[in-house]
Every structure is written in structure tokens, then in C-alpha cells.
Structure 1
Amino acid sequence: MNDVLTSSPPAAGPGWTARARRTRPAARDWQRIALVAAALIVLFMGFVLPLALLAPQSLNDGDGFSPAAYAKFFTHHLYLDIIVSTAKIAGWTAVLSVLVGYPYALWVNRLGPRMRVIAVIAVVLPFWVSILVRTYSWTIVLGKQGLVNEALAKIGLIDQPLELLYTDTGVLIGTVNILAPFFILPMIATMRAIDNRLVLAARSLGATPFQAFWRVYFPMTVPTLVSSAFLVFVLGFGFYVTPAILGGGRVQMLATLLAYLVNTSPDWALAAAISVLLLATTALVGIVSKLVRKDS
């Protein structure tokens, strides 16, 4: 009897251990599946479903099914002018972001560790400030009595203040300021991952500095350059805050047109049609970006 009370419980055999190992991963797998399913439900309800409802709304003109909103958008000269204006500003935003951002990223990559951190912080720091504050600050810089006009007048380059505010130029300056970091940061990360010994090897084989850069270094940055430029273009194509403030209602873009159609002249079918077209443009640009990146 005492032997029974004092004896330790039998050790778990190999069969019990195997069953426990099979049970624990299975439980963890179900937890992962539940978390992913919850995230997908939230994504579907908050993003996919509202977008899916746009298509029927764009085909409902109040009297039933009709593609009249799309026909109106593509045939009215006012809307065609807005498409051209939006594409022009978004395209120039992407081009200027490349022209400014690529040399900056190249310069950052050649700095020492401390200075590189400071240079990256200079790009990231504006994200900590509200986009409204950053945009309104440009009204002070670009106004007729702003810093730019005063500086140009003092050095004798202009006699009359330049019209920078409420013009395409002012909107373009503000848009590049807001969206250029979306190009610069991926380029810095890509350039940091490139092995500089490849450039040194090209130099040792007789290549000039420009040849080593153009034939060895630059091709390795092209995929990121293309995808980041497309990203800036897409963001600029649907940008609202900066064009609305710096454009002052004179520079019309698709996003400001949408705000007008929804808030001032409620034309839900046309607004939904424009939203569907913007979504399709974004998807098309994303596909082209992927194909270009794969070919590169």
C-alpha cells in the first residue's frame, strides 16, 4: 500500500509525447487561421465592400441601369481637360521626384553612418507634421508677398511678384514636397543593399567612374526607381489636400472634382464612375510597374 502511495506517476511514453507535439502545432495553426480570418473580414468590410458598391452606383443614374455617367465623363470637354491636368501634374510630380530624389539618395548612400542618419531623418521628419500644416506653410512661401517673391525681388530678378500660388506651378511644388519622400526612402534602402565592390571591380577593369555607375550601379537601382516613380504618380493622380489648398479652386484635379460632385453638386453616379476609373488606373499602373520591374 505504501509503495503505491509513494511511487511517482509513470513517465510519459513516446506515444504521449508525439501526441502532444501534434496537438500544440495544430492549436497554434488554428489561432493563426482565426487571426488571419478576422483581419480579412475587417479588410473586406472596410475596404473591398465599399469599393465593390461603387460599380453598381456608377451605373445607376436614378432611373435604372445606365452607363450615362461614364459617357458624360469621357465626352464632356471639361472632364477631359481635368483628366489631362491631373495626369500632367501627377506625371511631372513623378519626374521631379526622380530628378531630385535619386541624386539625394545617392548622396545619402555615400555619407558616413552619423551623417546618413541625419540625412534620412531630414526626409522622415516632415511625416511627423500634419499634411495640412505643411501645405498651408507653402501659401506663405509662394504668395505674392511670400519668401520666394521677396527673395527674387531683392536680388533684382523680378519687378512684379510671380503668380505662384493658385497655379499649376504652386500645386506642383507642394505636391513634390509631400510625395518625394515616397520615392527617396525606397531608393535609399535599395542603394544601401548594393555591394559597392561591384563598382570597384568595374573600375579595376578599366571603366571610368561614369561607366562604372551607368553600366553597373544604375541598372541595379532601375527596378526600385520605376516602381517608386509609379507609386508617386499614383499618389499624385488621386491627391486632394495639396491641390485643394494651393490650387485655391483654380487648379482642377480629379480629387477636387470628386469633392465638388459629392459635397456641392451631388452627382453620385458620376462621382462613383470617376472613383471606379481612378481605381482601375491605379490597378493598371500597379500591373505595369510589376511587369517593368520583372523585366528589369
Structure 2
Amino acid sequence: MTLALDQIATGGTASGANEEALRRQAHGERRSMLALTLPALLLVGFVVLIPIGWLFWLSFVDKSGFTLIHYQRLLHPTYLLTLRTTFELAFTVTVVCLLLGYPLAYLASQLPRRWASLVLLCVLFPFWTSLLVRTYAWLVLLQRRGLVNTWLQKLGIIEEPLRLVHNFTGTAIGMTHIMLPFMVLPLYATMKTISDDYMRAAANLGASPIRAFWQIYVPLSFPGLAAGLIVVFVLSLGFYVTPALLGGGRVMMWAMQIERSTTVYADWGAASAMGVVLLVITLGILWLVSRLTGSAKLGEAR
């Protein structure tokens, strides 16, 4: 009996020692990982966090000291109009990219590997050309005597040239062409992981192809869809070159308003306030999307 108790006590002591050794090993691994990532964290701090902090500081100071005048100035109808235009344009581009990118990504995911690679090559081909060159190319295509209006007139579809540039329409077309790959790529990556067995199972249970697609395939592709929507929308909020050229000064976004405040009026406080507001709104949208995505995943789990 005494021998058995000694063995149990010895086993418990050994188990406790093993747990303590594993705990120390885990702490050592964490310290090693922290040491390895410390240079990257310092770089992020110097490149991202310090400029953002400087931006916040400039938005709250003036020659007289602390002030809220820069944020009060943003309530002017001109700034509110440009903010509205920015979000309207970003939303329009995101929706159009979704309508064009989802079928294209689905087609690429269903094709054989060779043909899918060709489709993706066509999607990525614009990246090989400068953004400025692509924007000027759309300016040549969409102007009053451009190729689009010329062909439409020769075909007898229109009598007068359409106004396709220096307005909201031309800016949206140019931005959609630039942002479309950012919608297609995450969708394609997610769709390639969806097994065809799910659609076959739905068909065996009596679901029509359309019903199976909407109730089975679309929910499974939601991670790629959410990633594409976020990337396109957030990047569209900060566009400058394309709206400046295709908008012709008539489509004013906040990025252009920030540039004008710094270069024309040398008002870094107002520009910083606009940057802070845009950053806060963007972070709020990302937080809301993450909450909605988490709620959707929780509902599916239940």
C-alpha cells in the first residue's frame, strides 16, 4: 500500500515537472517569436503609427494651440459634398466590380486549369501597365471624339456624342477597370476551395440549379466576397489620379480635397482633419463588416 502511494506521488511530481517544463518551453517560444518580429513591429511603428499620430496631432492644433476649428470647418457644404461624392463613387465602383467580378471568378473556377490560367492572365494584364497610362487610355477612348463615340455614331446607335468623361460616369468606368482584379482574385481563391460535391448533393436532394447556387454556393463563397468588397471599397475611398483626370475637376473626392488644402492653401490642419475623419470612417466600416461577418458565421454554426 505504501509502495503504491509512493508511486502515485512520484508520478504526480513527474507530471507536474513535465507541465512546468512545457510551460517554460512555451514561454521561451513566445519570447523567441517576439524577438524575431520585433524589427518588423518597430518598422510598422515608424512607418505607420508615428505618421498617424502626427496626423492626429496636426488636426487638433493651430497657431494658438489646441483647437477644433479644423473639424468644424469640415461641416461646410463643400466638404460634405466631396465626402458624399467620395462614398457614392466608392459604393458604385464596388457594386459594379461585384456584378462583373463574381461571374468572371466563377467562370475561372469552373474552367480547366489551362483555360483558368488564361482568364486570370487577362485579369492581371492591366497590372503590367502604369495606372497613369491606363487612365489616359480611358480618356482617349471615352472623350467626345474618342473610339467609343466614333463607333457608336458609325453604327447609327447614337446621333450626338455621349458625355463619358469629365463626369461621374467616366470616373466610375476608369476606377472599375482598375479595381476589378481586386474583386476577382479573392473570389477565385475562395471558389477553388468549394467542392463540387455540395452542388451534387443539393441536386440529389431535389434542389434546382439556381436554388442550389444561391443557397449553397454563394454562402460558401462569402469569405472571398467579403474580402473583395472590403478591398475594393477601401481602396476606392482614397483614389486620386483617376478622378482627377477622368473627372476633369468636376468630380471632387476627399483625396483631391486634401491635396488642394496642402498645395494650394498650405492648410495642413484641415488636410489632417480630413485624413483623420476618412480613416475613422474606414475603420468603422471595417469593424461593422467584421461584426456582420461574425454574426453570419455564428448563425450558420447554430
Length-normalised TM-score, structure 2: 0.86
1:293 corresponds to: 293
* Structure 1 residues 128 and 27, CA gap change in structure 2 (3 angstroms): farther
1:21 corresponds to: none
The CA distance in 1 between the partners of 2:123 and 2:129, in whole Å, is 12
2:60 corresponds to: 59
1:280 corresponds to: 280
The CA distance in 1 between the partners of 2:185 and 2:170, in whole Å, is 24
The CA distance in 2 between the partners of 1:88 and 1:247, in whole Å, is 14
Q: Determine if the alignment matches structure 1 residue 40 to structure 2 residue 45.
A: no
Length-normalised TM-score, structure 1: 0.87
2:254 corresponds to: 254
Q: Deviations over 1:74-100 (max 9, x none)?
A: 2x1111111111111000011101111
For 2:222, the aligned partner's letter is: V
1:140 corresponds to: 140
Shift of 1:26: 11
For 2:49, the aligned partner's letter is: V
For 2:79, the aligned partner's letter is: Y
The CA distance in 2 between the partners of 1:295 and 1:222, in whole Å, is 13
The DSSP-based 3-state class of the residue aligned with 1:124 is helix
Q: Tell me, which stretches of 5 or more residues in structure 2 are unaligned?
A: 1-25, 297-302
The CA distance in 1 between the partners of 2:172 and 2:38, in whole Å, is 42
Matches within 5 A, 1:66-77: 66-74=67-75, 76-77=76-77
**2:55, 2:276 within 8 Å by CA — same for their partners in 1?**
yes
**1:179, 1:232 within 8 Å by CA — same for their partners in 2?**
yes
Q: Determine if the alignment matches structure 1 residue 79 to structure 2 residue 79.
A: yes
Shift of 1:29: 7.7
1:189 corresponds to: 189
Shift of 1:227: 3.2
The CA distance in 1 between the partners of 2:29 and 2:206, in whole Å, is 57
Shift of 1:28: 9.0
1:233 corresponds to: 233
Report % sequence identity: 37
The DSSP-based 3-state class of the residue aligned with 1:140 is helix
For 1:207, the aligned partner's letter is: A
Matches within 5 A, 1:198-277: 198-277=198-277
The CA distance in 2 between the partners of 1:57 and 1:198, in whole Å, is 55
The CA distance in 2 between the partners of 1:69 and 1:59, in whole Å, is 7
The CA distance in 1 between the partners of 2:82 and 2:229, in whole Å, is 22
Q: Deviations over 1:246-273 (max 9, x none)?
A: 1122210001111111111111111000
**1:227, 1:290 within 8 Å by CA — same for their partners in 2?**
no
**1:227, 1:289 within 8 Å by CA — same for their partners in 2?**
no
The CA distance in 1 between the partners of 2:247 and 2:280, in whole Å, is 26
For 1:193, the aligned partner's letter is: T
Q: Tell me, which stretches of 5 or more residues in structure 1 are unaligned?
A: 1-24
The DSSP-based 3-state class of the residue aligned with 2:184 is helix
For 2:174, the aligned partner's letter is: G
Shift of 1:218: 1.0
* Structure 1 residues 35 and 163, CA gap change in structure 2 (3 angstroms): same
For 2:270, the aligned partner's letter is: L
Kindly report the root-mean-square deviation, in angstroms, between the aligned alpha carbons of the 2 structures: 1.9
The CA distance in 2 between the partners of 1:286 and 1:54, in whole Å, is 20
1:103 corresponds to: 103
Runs of 4+ in structure 1 deviating by more than 6 angstroms, as ranges, are 25-31
Shift of 1:30: 6.9
**1:227, 1:293 within 8 Å by CA — same for their partners in 2?**
no
Shift of 1:275: 0.5
The CA distance in 2 between the partners of 1:259 and 1:43, in whole Å, is 25
Q: Deviations over 1:181-210 (max 9, x none)?
A: 111100000100011111011101111111
**1:187, 1:224 within 8 Å by CA — same for their partners in 2?**
yes
Matched residue count: 272
**2:186, 2:224 within 8 Å by CA — same for their partners in 1?**
yes
